[in-house]
Amino acid sequence: MMKSVWSKTILSLLLVCSSSVAVGQTADLVFTNASVLTMNDDSPTAEAVAVTGNQITYVGDAAGAEALVGDNTEVFDLGGDTLLPGFVSGHDHLIAQGWNTRGVNLFGVESVEDALASIKEYADANPDEDIIFGFGFNRSVYGRWPTKEELDGVLPDRPAFILDYTIHDIWMNSKAFDLGEVSIDEPDQVPGVMYWQRDAEGEFTGIGIEFQWAPAYRTAGGWNIESDLAGFQQVNYAAAVETGMTAVHVPLIAMPTVTDAELVKEDEALVLEYLQGLEQAGELNLRTFVATAFKDPTGDPAAVVEHTLSLREKYDSDMLRIWGIKIHPEGNWGSKTSWQLEPYEGTDSRGAAAIEGEKIMATYLLANAAGIPVGTHVDGSQTVRNTVNAIMAARGAGFDVPNNLLHHYFTVPDTEHRLVIENGIMVNTTPAFQSDWDGEDENALALLGRARVEAQYARYSSLMAIGHNVSIASDVPSSPIDMIAPLFNVEIAMTLQDPQNPESKPFPLSRKPATLEQALKAITIHPAAQQAMEDKIGSIEVGKYADLVVLDQDITTVAPRDISDIKVLGTVMDGRFTHRDGI
């Protein structure tokens, strides 16, 4: 297999040694005999790296590193295995993820009948649970939405709240509607976007769309942040560091208060205070960059910006920072609740948005004027257009905020795609959602149509091909925690296939897989730039923070379909190991 610029032959010709270690000083950690992929275009490879304190103090050849070894230096001979910059997630809701993955796991279940059997089996095995929770049901795989009556049939005596795999929608039985105090005349928060499904007679079907269900869930006792937060965060962060992750962008803290502007402010304050306590105790194992939430359709852009700025004053370190604002204006195309320029296949509906263009525009102008970036959930093509227009208007007003973000980037028209390229607008996406994982390919073809899929869908790959700033991440919990590994996303970007399915086929047909270099930049230097941290993390350079990941083999020799199987031996964040397994 050819290794292009990273082959060991070229390595010997390209080494540029640099060091900031004072004369006579020795390093704390030395990694040597390694295939170092720096993600620094000026010096892309090296043999050795030294760390002193929390900084990288040497990058170069093995001989130079050997001179920095002292009596107390810990030396790691990697035997040709790969050393990379620490992985940076551009989009994972890690902090509070856990309330949405309790109870029965329906990921991988392929029919309503099998889902009901799994729920009944779980309920029978847990007779002491007053409420049955669950997650992962997939109406696309099932071919239809399940119903309240079906859930009543297996759980007539206890309430059940079963989240779908995106956590945007829910399936409830009659007891859940009762416990959640949902009356039949309860209005939809935003018709067509945030609503209760009803039958022809106006009765509830059992499905709540796009967080319409959140007040009922809270009323029923499903949300207990004070008691649950620490446990959720510790489990999630432990899972992340095992995959080589050293930093995470949290594009709103995913909580069932997110559609209520006042409640979410209270929860954000509580969560951030908790995280700051971990930071001060030296126990925060991921650099955490948080976007405040703007999902309440009644929310005021000026109030959201003011709230964000007030939090930024308190949380603005390289370990814990308020990044900016995340606007979540719509649902998702899978439930036809994202806003498209053209109708969904076989319908007259283009979807809709809870937060439309005027508020998106106002938020970007106000936030960018204050130097605060904004990221927007752009699932549908109309929302892509509204958001790109807002970013261009902010730039036209003279506001220099280069790291405004487009999240998801699923269906993108030609005009907006060209503007994104020409103006360097940064993008984050989740490759799994644009592959054949969990039936997403069939769902896309059914709801968007082949022509739109091949023309507008999964265009992140064409951005990666030209070196555009794109980050890739798993969007946990909309994908399960076992898919959080950045190398899982690298494999999908390089193959357009599902790593968990040996029968997976590339999708869409019109897209070109990324190269290894392009995919690795999408989990290192590109998301670092999205956090305005590219001068401190994201590449292996002298003077940057010592955020590193050690793999168990040379990644440049691994077949693309095997990349997600690579083991992470060690994760170093801020000069200390946060994960060690075999090193």
CA distance 493 to 466: 14
Characterize the bridge pairing of strands 195-198 and 245-251.
unpaired
Domain regions of the chain by residue span: 4-85+543-580, 89-95+225-530, 99-219
* Contact call for residues 65 and 32 (beta carbons, < 8 A): yes
Query: What's the pLDDT score for residue 24?
Result: 63
Query: What's the pLDDT score for residue 2?
Result: 38
Query: What's the pLDDT score for residue 514?
Result: 98
For the cut 70, the answer to whether the pLDDT of residue 558 exceeds it is: yes
Q: What's CA 393's distance to the chain center, in Å?
A: 27
pLDDT for 232-284, tens place per residue? Answer: 999 999 999 999 999 999 999 999 999 999 999 999 999 999 999 999 999 99
Helix or strand holding residue 277 (H, E): helix 261-280
* Contact call for residues 99 and 228 (beta carbons, < 8 A): yes
Query: What's the pLDDT score for residue 463?
Result: 98
pLDDT band at residue 22, thresholds of 50, 70 and 90?
A: low
CATH topology of domain 4-85+543-580: Urease, subunit C; domain 1 (2.30.40)
For the cut 80, the answer to whether the pLDDT of residue 95 exceeds it is: yes
For the cut 70, the answer to whether the pLDDT of residue 3 exceeds it is: no
pLDDT for 153-187, tens place per residue? Answer: 999 999 999 999 999 999 999 999 999 999 999 99
CA distance 135 to 138: 9
Estimate the crossing angle of helix 381-396 against helix 414-422, to 10 degrees. Answer: 40
For the cut 70, the answer to whether the pLDDT of residue 111 exceeds it is: yes
**Mean pLDDT, rounded, for 493-520:** 97
Q: What is the pTM of this model?
A: 0.94
pLDDT for 121-137, tens place per residue? Answer: 999 999 999 999 999 99
Q: What are the phi and psi torsion angles at 481 (to 5°)?
A: -60, -25
Beta strands in 346-467 (DSSP E): 374-378, 405-408, 426-429
CA distance 325 to 13: 45
- Tokens 């508020």, residue? 359
CA distance 297 to 329: 8
Contacts by residues 510-516 (CB-CB < 8 Å, ≥ 24 positions apart): 510/454, 510/455, 511/458, 511/459, 511/461, 511/462, 512/461, 512/462, 512/465, 513/461, 513/560, 514/461, 514/464, 514/465, 515/4, 516/6, 516/490, 516/555, 516/556, 516/560
| DSSP conformational letter for 533 | -
DSSP 535-562: TTSSS--TTSB--EEEESS-GGGS-GGG
* Contact call for residues 140 and 443 (beta carbons, < 8 A): yes
For the cut 90, the answer to whether the pLDDT of residue 20 exceeds it is: no
> How many Cβ atoms sit within 10 Å of the Cβ of residue 234?
14
CA distance 267 to 396: 35
Query: What's the pLDDT score for residue 4?
Result: 43
CA distance 416 to 524: 26
Helix or strand holding residue 290 (H, E): strand 287-294
CA distances from 300 to 252, 312, 391 (A): 17, 18, 18
* Contact call for residues 557 and 510 (beta carbons, < 8 A): no
Q: What are the phi and psi torsion angles at 518 (to 5°)?
A: -60, -45
Q: What are the phi and psi torsion angles at 117 (to 5°)?
A: -65, -40
Comparing 530 with 16, the larger pLDDT belongs to 530
CA torsion angle 361 365 367 369 (round to 10): 180
Amino acid at site 209:
I
> How many Cβ atoms sit within 10 Å of the Cβ of residue 8?
14
For the cut 80, the answer to whether the pLDDT of residue 56 exceeds it is: yes
| DSSP conformational letter for 144 | S
* Contact call for residues 339 and 380 (beta carbons, < 8 A): yes
CATH number for the region 89-95+225-530 comes to 3.20.20.140
SS3 571: strand
Contacts by residues 59-64 (CB-CB < 8 Å, ≥ 24 positions apart): 59/16, 59/17, 59/18, 59/19, 59/540, 59/541, 59/542, 60/15, 60/16, 60/17, 60/18, 60/19, 61/15, 61/17, 62/32, 62/33, 64/17, 64/19
**Mean pLDDT, rounded, for 81-99:** 95
pLDDT for 421-473, tens place per residue? Answer: 999 999 999 999 999 999 999 999 999 999 999 999 999 999 999 999 999 99
* Contact call for residues 169 and 335 (beta carbons, < 8 A): yes
Contacts of 450 (CB under 8 A, 6+ apart): none
pLDDT band at residue 575, thresholds of 50, 70 and 90?
A: very high
> How many Cβ atoms sit within 10 Å of the Cβ of residue 457?
25
Query: What's the pLDDT score for residue 460?
Result: 98
For the cut 50, the answer to whether the pLDDT of residue 9 exceeds it is: no
Calculate the average pLDDT of the chain. 95
CATH number for the region 99-219 comes to 3.10.310.70
DSSP 48-96: EEEEETTEEEEEE-HHHHHTT--TT-EEEE-TT-EEEEPEEESS--TTT
> How many Cβ atoms sit within 10 Å of the Cβ of residue 155?
21
Cis geometry, peptide bond prior to residue 191 (ω within 30 degrees of 0): no
- Residues facing residue 137 across a β-bridge: 164
Instruction: Give the whole-number percent of the chain exceeding pLDDT 70.
Output: 96
Characterize the bridge pairing of strands 374-378 and 320-327.
parallel
SS3 577: strand
